[in-house]
Amino acid sequence: MTTSYILEQQADLRRNKALMREAEQAEIKMIAEKKNLQQAADEARLEAKLARIKQGGSAPVSVAIEAPSPVAPKTVQPKPKAKVSFRKKSVEEETSDASEEG
C-alpha cells in the first residue's frame, strides 16, 4: 500500500522530468537554428567571394596579426615585518595568578 506523500513525490518527479524534456528540446531547437544561421552566413560569404573572383577583382588584403609583446612582471618588494615584543611575567606574578584561580 502506497501512502499519499509517496504518490505526490512521484507526480512531482513526473512533472519535473517533463519540464526537463521540454527544456532539452528547446535547447536542441535553438542550437539547430544557430547552426542554420551560421551556415547561411557562410554560404553568403562564399557566394560574395566567388562573385568577386569572377569579376576579376583584387584579392582581399591579408592582415598579419602580431602577438602582443610580453609585459615585464612587476617586482614586488616584501614589506618589512613589524617587530613584536612581549613582556615576560615574573615568576612571582605567575604563582600569584595561579593561586587566585583556584
What's the pTM?
0.44
The pLDDT value recorded for residue 56 is 84
The pLDDT value recorded for residue 101 is 56
- Domain positions in the chain are 1-58
3-state secondary structure of 75: coil
What are phi and psi for residue 84, nearest 5 degrees? -115, 130
And the C-alpha cell for 39? 551556415
The pLDDT value recorded for residue 33 is 93
And the C-alpha cell for 30? 535553438
The pLDDT value recorded for residue 91 is 59
The pLDDT value recorded for residue 12 is 96
Enumerate residue ranges in the chain where pLDDT < 50. Answer: none
d(CA 36, CA 42): 10
Helix ranges (H only) for the chain are 4-55, 91-101
